[in-house]
Amino acid sequence: MSDEIASAPKGEKLEKALRKLEESRGLLEPGDRYRALVNAVKQAQDLIEMGDRKARFALVIMSVLNAVAVLLVARGGTSLLPTTGLWSLALAAMIAVYVVVTLYFVAQAVSALRPRGVHPPPAHEMPRDVQPGVSMRMLFHADVMARERDEYRALWERLRMDNLTTELADQLYTLSMVNQRKYAALDRLYVGVNLMTALLGLMLATLGLYHLVT
């Protein structure tokens, strides 16, 4: 009996430790869930800003390449550019391909930088009754402007934590879709930068070879 009594506190301590371990591995507390979602949304917004910077940098590179190409064609004249024969046809074909490629990948840059704004939805589509675990659409600017000021303030007074976390989860999903499309356009854009560089290099090499053999 004395052995059982002596071992009882150890069993209780073990049970308490196991319970604490399960709590640390279990469901997030509402406040922790909110903070995790806010941090994830901020990271997604940072990714959008980073993607915009990458797109602008690609446009700078494309501008430099285009300046070289325009200078080559506009200032080259007949002394630099072939005007007849196969050399002229080859160079004209390369210039045409370069122009088409440039236009296409400028469109990709516009796609990467295009703001994904949303117009305010009709007021009758907005949720009005606060229910557990339902997004009340209180945070996004278009949703804010879809309500009257007094109605918006009154909803905040009745809002629950799980309403906010549900909406943040929805926002995170939407931002992730935006990032997926943005970075897919960026991948295509940088393929275009490489292709434009290669085409410009090919034009310069063709001109160099032309002047060597003529």
Q: Encode the chain (214 residues) as per-residue pLDDT tens digits.
A: 444 444 446 667 667 766 666 666 667 788 888 999 999 999 999 999 999 999 999 999 999 999 988 888 777 666 677 777 888 888 889 889 999 999 998 888 888 887 766 666 787 788 988 999 899 999 888 888 888 999 999 999 999 999 999 999 999 999 999 999 899 989 999 999 999 999 999 988 888 888 888 7
CA atoms within 13 A on the CB side of 6: 3
Rounded CA-CA distance 157/117 in Å is 28
- Is residue 193 within 8 A of residue 105, CB to CB? The reply is yes
Q: Which long-range contacts (CB under 8 A, 24 or more apart) does 183-191 make?
A: 183/47, 183/51, 185/55, 185/108, 185/109, 185/111, 185/112, 186/51, 186/54, 186/55, 186/58, 186/112, 188/105, 188/108, 189/55, 189/58, 189/105, 189/108, 189/109, 189/112, 190/58, 191/105
If you search the block for the tokens 């001109």, which residue do you land on? 207
pLDDT in tens, 113-169: 877 666 667 877 889 889 998 999 998 888 888 889 999 999 999 999 999 999 999
Give this prediction's pTM.
Answer: 0.73
Neighbours of 158 (CB within 10 A): 10
If you search the block for the tokens 């090499």, which residue do you land on? 205
HEC assignment per residue over 147-195:
CCHHHHHHHHHHCCHHHHHHHHHHHHHHHHHHHHHHHHHHHHHHHHHHH
CA angle 196, 200, 202 (to 5 degrees): 115
8-state DSSP, 125: G
8-state DSSP, 137: -
Rounded CA-CA distance 45/58 in Å is 20
